[in-house]
Amino acid sequence: MKTRFSSILAVVLVTSLAFPMGVLAGEVQFNPKGMDISVAFPSTGLHTDANVSSFIDSGVTYAINGGFFDAYYSTSAGYSYPDNAPRIFGPIIQDGDLINGGFTHNMVGFTSSGDVLIDRVTVTPMFYRNGSKDGSQIWVTNQLYTEGYSVSLMTDDFKNSFTVPTGATTVTVSNGVVTNINTNATQQVASGTTMLVFNSERVNMLRSYNAFLNVGDKITYGVDYTSTQNGNWNNVETAVTGGKILVMNGQNVGYDSSSYNVEFANEANQMDNASAARSYLGVKSNGEIILGTTTGTFPNIAANLVSAGCVSAISLDGGASSMLYANGSFQTSAGRNLAAILTFSGGTTTTTTTTTTNTTTTSTTTSSSATAQATAQATASKVLVDGSNVAFEAYNIGGSNYFKLRDLAEVLSGTNAKFSVSWDGANKAIAVNTGDAYTSVGGELATGDGQNKAATLSASTLYCNGTIQNLDAYTIDGNTYFKLRDLGQLIDFNVGWDSAQSLITITSSVGYDG
């Protein structure tokens, strides 16, 4: 059962913050009481990813990106768990059940009574045999480890097949009873069942004591939680794993690397002076929470949250995974497919202030008119960049092709038409500088689903070499797309069209010729 709190008040405040990639960023502040709180996944289940728009239900009021996952697996190599898949790393609790992970992590959880807990938590899944009160430890849920003594619990939340470690034995449990034991390398959990995966050394040890499971044994599951602040995690209904804890007991601990944040001590992008795209969740003493995205260092973000009245706060996955959704639109669009998001549904919004970009400066260029709402047809044409075939997620709107700015920056990096893309905090706009090297942020050249989409005219502001540009742009599934020929003229690369072959050509060594 999803978390449902008692009140129906949700007060919202959206504020503007500087964020890279030209995507609106900000904060939403509301009281979660009376809301359904859940972790949403792609329809393909755990350890898969998808465009976040495809798994935000129509009833969702607010959403932010969830736990950390492997965003850098090879999509071209084909899905294979656990070797090549968008694996979610830390624990996730859904409907009161641990459906992913184990061990010790920083987490944010929501209890059935309305408490929001942020803490460092040791999560230990257990199984109990034939009514015994003495449980046996499971290492993790819906994850696999190669260590010989590992035991994993796989549930039907994980919908794909998987390869168990060499020598492992699997035990299928249906309706609380062991129904099958086998040693097949490839497995899949049937709907309504669970599967225990015992690695070889654990199997050998249990069999040496004549203690391995048998068909017909009765099995129940549980989880032991131990937290630094001694919060009642047994009452948590929904939870995701975060990154650095930023605020604890009203104090800024964003710089801490010895207790709460020990595992981040040697990560370059987690250092005190490392500024990057961040997502975060803060809790105020009155029960309101703040969801936000920005660019900054953890200590500075934590200081701002303390000033806003937060008594606890935690960072979530950042970089291109940063995403914030409020009241039907993206305040910050994810730069890549995501594997999980934290959602808040229902409640009554009483106040909303929408983030806007600065569009008051006079434009020095003009573009053709565009309609506020349009149908974006997935571009089926082949695209050659300097003679090489490149797969883009591109769309045709009103007879013109629209591309993502960072996709083009990625493929033109190192050519005569190279350009950088960044966020201009002073003007709250996308900044493009021709001739500068491009720095990848992850998520470039992600493939689409080939389907037509709804497109909304974008208010994104773009500066090129310090001068504001007035270019047609559309938001499609939370991402901003610009007209290819406009970008060709702006950056000065050639755009060609061969109607006989339905072929788009982009040539970096030849300037734009109209």
Q: Which residues contact 407 (CB under 8 A, 6 or more apart)?
A: 392, 393, 444, 445
Give me the chain's average pLDDT, please: 86
Please choose, from the candidates 35, 90, 78, 29, the residue with its C-alpha nearest in 3D space to the C-alpha of residue 59: 35
Token output for 321: 């995974």
User: What CA–CA distance (Å, rounded) separates 12 from 225?
Assistant: 33
The answer to whether 326 and 12 are in contact (CB under 8 A) is yes
What does residue 18 show for φ and ψ, rounded to 5 degrees?
-75, 135
Question: Which pLDDT band, with edges at 50, 70 and 90, does 21 fall under?
Answer: very low
Question: What local confidence, expressed as pLDDT, does residue 353 receive?
Answer: 33
What's the distance, CA 42 to chain centroid? 11
Neighbours of 296 (CB within 10 A): 20
Mean pLDDT, to the nearest integer, of 439-451? 87
Question: What local confidence, expressed as pLDDT, does residue 372 receive?
Answer: 66
For residues 447 and 134, the model is more confident at: 134
For residues 266 and 25, the model is more confident at: 266
pLDDT surpasses 50 at 359: no
For residues 167 and 366, the model is more confident at: 167
- The dihedral region occupied by 439, where left means phi > 0, alpha psi between -120 and 50, and beta the remainder, is beta
Question: Which pLDDT band, with edges at 50, 70 and 90, does 426 fall under?
Answer: low
Question: What local confidence, expressed as pLDDT, does residue 150 receive?
Answer: 97
Token output for 483: 């007209």
Token output for 35: 């809301």
Please choose, from the candidates 479, 484, 460, the residue with its C-alpha nearest in 3D space to the C-alpha of residue 397: 484
Question: What local confidence, expressed as pLDDT, does residue 251 receive?
Answer: 92
Question: Which pLDDT band, with edges at 50, 70 and 90, does 147 fall under?
Answer: very high
Beta 429-434 vs 151-155: how paired, if at all? unpaired
User: What CA–CA distance (Å, rounded) separates 472 from 3?
Assistant: 42
User: What CA–CA distance (Å, rounded) separates 324 from 312?
Assistant: 19
User: What CA–CA distance (Å, rounded) separates 141 from 123?
Assistant: 10
The answer to whether 57 and 334 are in contact (CB under 8 A) is no
Vertex 401 angle, CA 397 and 403, to 5°: 110
Mean pLDDT, to the nearest integer, of 51-65? 94
User: What CA–CA distance (Å, rounded) separates 299 from 271?
Assistant: 9
User: What CA–CA distance (Å, rounded) separates 238 from 452?
Assistant: 34
Please choose, from the candidates 221, 254, 16, the residue with its C-alpha nearest in 3D space to the C-alpha of residue 99: 221
pLDDT surpasses 60 at 358: no
Neighbours of 466 (CB within 10 A): 10
Q: What is the DSSP letter of 284?
A: E
How distant, in Å, are the alpha carbons of 98, 157, 280, 456 from that of 293?
Answer: 27, 29, 6, 22
User: What CA–CA distance (Å, rounded) separates 60 from 511?
Assistant: 46
Beta 60-65 vs 341-346: how paired, if at all? antiparallel
Amino acid at 127: F
Amino acid at 333: S
70-129 pLDDT tens trace:
998 998 898 999 899 999 999 999 999 999 999 999 999 999 877 899 999 999 999 999
Which of 278-292, 465-479, 486-500 has maximum average pLDDT?
278-292
366-390 pLDDT tens trace:
344 466 678 889 998 999 999 999 9
pLDDT surpasses 60 at 288: yes
pLDDT surpasses 50 at 292: yes
Beta 151-155 vs 140-141: how paired, if at all? parallel
Mean pLDDT, to the nearest integer, of 249-254? 91
